[in-house]
């Protein structure tokens, strides 16, 4: 079935183009390359001309960015439509690699010219640092390798997006199956869980193979760029200027010490409430007291109207922004076959508008996910005014503060969907999730550090290491006996490991930021929201610690920050 995705080309641009021609086909590398060459050739004699050149470069970047987003959105909305995959594939195989070396040349030109005609040091501080960094790590010979990695990511997406199982005589997508794990019938849950993981296991060798290729390519990319391993390379590629792999390892230790014990208490409480001798993997999602799953809505229209109300109660401006997104057709929320898994917010850069993608099936977690992605959307809107495209998005470690804070502050009004009893349940679930996530991030991050520091490992060693890291962070608190094969490859479903390596610690760093804002809102909601918006409006124009500071919080993910926040959460968990 052909699903009509919104025609994004109809969205009005934030401002008219002045450099990029109206009629250009941005999917054809030849036409795009021509514009880059114009920028390369242009003579620049003054700071004013240099700033105009930067604005034109931003305009081109923005137009390309939007083109890429549209192709990506169209593909993920319908991964089984061959044409959409081909269109996206053509873009990442021809346009992206053609542009990368030219971006490097533009960077070099900028560096050279800006030394002769200096610009405002403070305003361009972050931009200059990024340009300098990107020149430093760029290698032309890495471009084809990066294209290969991107194509492998697409293959991973297709494999996962088209996985279905027949259950109860009907074909189900994987997100649809996860809904049954909330059912109170333990036998049913077990059979759902087994059906799902058995289906996943059928693609185990394929996924291991894809990952091995990615690992080899990534290590080669790092070595080409004169780094010892991909971890050190990726820290630079992600512009992680304000923390080190060592800080991440300290986070792992802090979690082991301060969060895992609480996580174990949560699991132990669950075990007792469920009256079980041991917890099995299919016992984690269901309500432990045997209550039926929370059903906040039927159909995405109800989800949208409810979340709109929540935002309006939290903050009038945020409510209006969400309403406008819905009116413009910037929400694709329902789960259906062929849709890629998960949820994301993507920015349509020329319109400077956000788009939200989700697989909603009617669960409590769908409401939280929409609050989360809407937080990203508010961020996009809050920093849309920056003229430099690089400043119209923040660093990932702050982007997730934007989203996670909305889960907490927007979530204060979840009574739109629920009775007071249900509100308590939903909040308790959310805080348990936060604790679980802080632990899971440590697992995923620790695993990836090991993977890329030991690139010569075999798939069997990798799976072994996965298990031992899981156990270090409380994974053995559950009974996996007889299920080792599934347990070993549990990481296959973590798309970040495949598609955006090392992008995960951000969730923990930012969660700690969002929790700080939540604490601040307890003292004054108005102050917290004002600080939130102020932080968001800076986009990527200031270094990470300053973005946190603008939002009235500390950029820190050490034990010193974690410990008191964990204590603040504890009362919400009602642990006997
Ligand atoms: Zn997010």
State in Å: Cα 472 to ligand 1 middle.
26
* pTM for the predicted model, two decimal places: 0.91
Question: Which pair of tokens denotes residue 164?
Answer: 């279905």
State in Å: Cα 366 to ligand 1 middle.
14
State in Å: Cα 141 to ligand 1 middle.
32
State in Å: Cα 354 to ligand 1 middle.
13
pLDDT computed for residue 182 by the predictor: 87
State in Å: Cα 244 to ligand 1 middle.
22
pLDDT computed for residue 141 by the predictor: 96
State in Å: Cα 359 to ligand 1 middle.
15
pLDDT computed for residue 22 by the predictor: 92
pLDDT computed for residue 157 by the predictor: 87
CA dist 284 to 97, 199, 270, 281, 368, Å? 44, 20, 8, 6, 18
State in Å: Cα 398 to ligand 1 middle.
10
State in Å: Cα 23 to ligand 1 middle.
34
State in Å: Cα 465 to ligand 1 middle.
27
Tokens 């080190």, residue? 244
Greatest CA separation found in the chain? 77
The series of mean pLDDT values per 10 residues for the chain, 576 residues long, is 60 94 94 96 96 97 95 89 91 91 95 94 95 94 94 91 91 88 94 96 96 98 97 97 97 97 95 96 93 91 96 96 94 87 91 95 93 97 96 96 97 96 93 96 98 96 96 93 93 94 96 98 96 98 98 97 96 77
Return d(Cα 362, Cα 354) in angstroms, integer.
23
State in Å: Cα 165 to ligand 1 middle.
28
pLDDT computed for residue 575 by the predictor: 66
Return d(Cα 172, Cα 169) in angstroms, integer.
9
Which residues are bridge partners to 166 per DSSP?
171
Q: What is the 3-state secondary structure (H, E, C) of 249-311?
A: HHHHHHHHHHHHHHHHHHHHHHHHHHCCCCCCHHHCCCCCCCCCCCCCCCCHHHHHHHHHHHH
State in Å: Cα 410 to ligand 1 middle.
15
Return d(Cα 233, Cα 261) in angstroms, integer.
34
Return d(Cα 304, Cα 323) in angstroms, integer.
9
For 153-162, letters b (16+ CB in 10 Å) and e give bbbbbbbbbe
State in Å: Cα 376 to ligand 1 middle.
7
Of 450, 335, 396, which Cα lies nearest the Cα of 76?
335
State in Å: Cα 296 to ligand 1 middle.
22
State in Å: Cα 395 to ligand 1 middle.
12
Of 330, 331, 469, 496, which Cα lies nearest the Cα of 400?
496
Say if residues 112 and 43 touch (Cβ distance below 8 Å): no
pLDDT computed for residue 293 by the predictor: 84
How many Cβ atoms from other residues are within 10 Å of residue 111's Cβ?
A: 13
């Amino acid at each position: 079935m052909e699903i009509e995705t919104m025609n994004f080309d109809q969205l009005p641009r934030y401002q008219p183009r002045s450099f990029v021609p109206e009629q250009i086909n941005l999917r054809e590398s030849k036409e795009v390359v021509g514009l880059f060459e114009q920028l390369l050739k242009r003579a620049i004699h003054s700071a004013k001309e240099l700033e105009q050149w930067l604005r034109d470069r931003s305009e081109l970047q923005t137009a390309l960015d939007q083109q890429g987003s549209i192709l990506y959105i169209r593909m993920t909305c319908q991964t089984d439509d061959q044409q959409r995959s081909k269109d996206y594939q053509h873009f990442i195989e021809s346009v992206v690699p053609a542009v990368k070396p030219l971006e490097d040349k533009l960077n070099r030109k900028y560096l050279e010219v800006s030394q002769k005609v200096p610009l405002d040091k403070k305003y361009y501080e972050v931009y200059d640092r990024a340009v300098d960094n990107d020149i430093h790590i760029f290698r032309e010979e890495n471009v084809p390798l990066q294209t290969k990695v991107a194509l492998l990511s697409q293959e991973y997406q297709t494999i996962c997006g088209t996985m279905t199982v027949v259950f109860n005589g009907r074909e189900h997508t994987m997100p649809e199956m996860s809904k049954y794990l909330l059912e109170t019938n333990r036998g049913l849950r077990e059979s759902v869980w087994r059906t799902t993981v058995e289906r996943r296991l059928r693609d185990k060798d394929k996924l291991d193979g894809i990952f091995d290729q990615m690992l080899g390519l990534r290590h080669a990319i790092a070595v080409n760029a004169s780094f010892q391993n991909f971890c050190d390379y990726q820290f630079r590629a992600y512009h992680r200027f304000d923390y080190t792999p060592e800080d991440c390892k300290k986070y792992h230790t802090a979690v082991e010490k301060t969060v895992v014990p609480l996580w174990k208490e949560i699991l132990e409480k669950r075990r007792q409430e469920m009256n079980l001798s041991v917890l099995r993997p299919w016992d984690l999602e269901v309500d432990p007291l045997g209550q039926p799953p929370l059903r906040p809505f039927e159909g995405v229209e109800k989800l949208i109207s409810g979340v709109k109300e929540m935002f309006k109660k939290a903050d009038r401006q945020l409510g209006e922004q969400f309403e406008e997104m819905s009116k413009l057709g910037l929400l694709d929320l329902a789960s259906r076959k062929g849709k890629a898994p998960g949820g994301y917010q993507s920015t349509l850069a020329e319109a400077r508008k956000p788009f939200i993608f989700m697989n909603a099936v009617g669960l409590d977690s769908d409401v939280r996910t929409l609050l989360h992605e809407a937080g990203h959307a508010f961020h996009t809107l809050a920093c849309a005014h920056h003229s430099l495209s690089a400043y119209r998005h923040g660093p990932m470690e702050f982007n997730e503060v934007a989203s996670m804070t909305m889960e907490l502050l927007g979530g204060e009004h979840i009574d739109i969907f629920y009775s007071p009893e249900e509100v308590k349940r939903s909040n308790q679930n959310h805080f348990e999730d936060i604790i679980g996530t802080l632990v899971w991030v440590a697992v995923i991050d620790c695993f990836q550090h090991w993977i890329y520091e030991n690139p010569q490992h075999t798939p069997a060693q990798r799976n072994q290491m996965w298990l031992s890291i899981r156990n270090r962070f409380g994974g053995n608190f559950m009974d996996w006996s007889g299920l080792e094969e599934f347990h070993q490859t549990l990481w296959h479903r973590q798309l970040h490991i495949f598609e955006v390596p090392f992008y995960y610690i951000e969730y923990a760093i930012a969660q700690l930021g969002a929790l700080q804002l939540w604490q601040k809102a307890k003292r004054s909601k108005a102050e917290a929201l004002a600080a939130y918006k102020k932080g968001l409006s800076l986009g990527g124009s200031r270094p990470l610690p300053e973005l946190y500071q603008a939002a009235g919080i500390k950029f820190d993910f050490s034990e010193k920050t974690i410990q008191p926040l964990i204590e603040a959460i504890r009362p919400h968990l009602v642990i006997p």
